[in-house]
Amino acid sequence: MQRTDERYQAYVQILREELKPAMGCTEPIAVAYACAVARQTLGKLPQLECIAHVTDQDMEAVEEYLAQERVTILPLDTTHPFDILVEVRAGEDVARVRMVDQHTNLVHVSRNGQVLQEREVPQAMQENPLQQLLTVEDILDFADSVDLEDIRQPIQQQAQLNWAISQEGLEGCYGAMIGKELMAQAGNDWKARLRARAAAGSDARMSGCELPVVIVSGSGNQGLTASLPVMEYAAMKGIGEERMYRAMVVSNLLTVHQKTNLGRLSAFCGAVNAACAAAAAIAYLDGMGLDGVAHTLVNSLAVVSGMVCDGAKASCAAKISLALEAGLMGYEMYKAGHEFYDGDGIVKKGVENTLNMVARLGRLGMRETDREILRIMTGQ
């Protein structure tokens, strides 16, 4: 792919926009941001700063506030899978803030009925039009030909930050310690080591570790899942940094590609997309071409599609581990000459057609599942 190609420039821009560091789980942070804007609009309390600057005294104040049971959480009747509406009150004053589709996309801010900021809310979730240019074949072409200096900063930052939190998860005691236990039992089992490496990062992130993570598709867990297995495999095989970075380009862009039509948030667990992308990137690291990468994606998605997302919590690490197991099994199937065929469930002829069916399952088929999960989580 030539540097002057529209797709080349689009893919570089996608990586620069998608691979960003984030402190804490992105969805709770989005709620915190909306609440901070509402508090600022109300004008009754000082503006909240970035969550990274929250002190121990702040945490004590939060605990005291929550003990008074003045926070009510309800499922919102909306067609958007990502839709946050915050209302804060102080005496007779009330401020409302709404955020839709993206983690910082404010579409409404008002105080006492006076609209201070408003933008049109689209009927359906809007994705970056550049992402419509993504295809599996072109992603591999781009990964082979990209000048690494064009994408080194976000990829290198992802490698450094995500590895650091994974190490913290392996060395500390976070959540259910899925990654730590897996690594302790892994021995020479390379697949278990890859699963452990990714799960450990999620263990730490989901359980209060303050280290930042480089996200993809708006998700820290997806950023960890797309990058860490590739890095662990490269380290085990003695693969150089340049080749590893190119494989990380593959895993990140394949994750974004899958999520483009699926949407950033749904009842479909995004770790599945990232895990299958990571397995495909490992096939790429092993020198497999389009056929190997495509069949790895299809095989793995045929197995594990349908795992539900029920919020950010400790069990995300276990889901990452299981999704990676399916992804790596899909790769092993390909190497052994086996595959799933058109008509095997949601599998269709051609990788792009199968990806479209998976997106349809998550976006349309699991819409009511998403609502029911929200009702369960909010005690309705």
| 73 vs 202, higher pLDDT | 202
Distance between CA atoms of 150 and 277, rounded to whole angstroms? 22
Rg (CA), the chain: 21
DSSP 336-354: TT----TTSTT--SSHHHH
Residue 50: pLDDT over 50: no
pLDDT tops 50 at residue 236: yes
- State the pLDDT at residue 123: 67
Over residues 255-269, the pLDDT tens digits come to 999 999 888 778 999
Using alpha carbons only, give the angle 325, 245, 206 rounded to the nearest 5 degrees: 50
pLDDT at 126: 59
For 154, the token pair is: 């976000």
What percent of the chain has pLDDT above 90? 65
Flag whether pLDDT at 73 surpasses 90. Answer: no
> Does the pLDDT at position 348 exceed 60?
yes
Q: Is the pLDDT of residue 132 over 80?
A: yes
Pairing state between β 93-100 and 83-90: antiparallel
- d(C-alpha 270, C-alpha 221), whole Å: 8
Own/partner contacts of 302-306, CB < 8 Å, gap of 24 or more, are 302/330, 302/340, 302/344, 302/345, 302/346, 302/347, 302/354, 303/329, 303/330, 304/272, 304/275, 304/276, 305/268, 305/272, 305/346, 305/358, 305/361, 305/362, 306/268, 306/361, 306/366
Q: Report, as an integer, the average pLDDT of 329-356.
A: 97
Q: Across the chain, what does the average pLDDT equal?
A: 90
Q: Which residue has the higher pLDDT, 28 or 309?
A: 309
Give residue-wise pLDDT tens across range 148-181.
Answer: 999 999 999 999 999 999 999 999 999 999 999 9
User: For residue 92, what pLDDT is reported?
Assistant: 81
- CA-CA distance, 81 to 83, in Å (whole number)? 6
Per the model's pLDDT, the better-predicted residue between 236 and 36 turns out to be: 236
For residue 115, name the pLDDT band (cuts at 50, 70, 90): confident
How do beta strands 93-100 and 106-111 pair? antiparallel
Q: Where are the alpha helices (DSSP H) in 19-112?
A: 26-42, 56-67
**Looking at the chain, which runs of residues are DSSP E strands?**
21-22, 83-90, 93-100, 106-111, 114-118, 213-214
Out of 70-79, 276-285, 363-372, least confident range: 70-79
Q: Give the pLDDT band (50/70/90) at residue 106.
A: confident
Q: For position 44, what pLDDT does the model report? A: 57
How would you classify residue 181: left for phi > 0, otherwise alpha for psi between -120 and 50, otherwise beta?
alpha
With a cut of 70, say whether residue 317 has pLDDT above it: yes
Residue 7 pairs with which residues in a beta bridge?
A: none
Question: Tens digits of per-residue pLDDT, 273-306?
Answer: 999 999 999 999 999 999 999 999 999 999 999 8
Q: Look up residue 91 and give its two tokens.
A: 């005496």
Q: Is the pLDDT of residue 30 over 80?
A: no
What is the predicted pLDDT for the residue at 90? 76
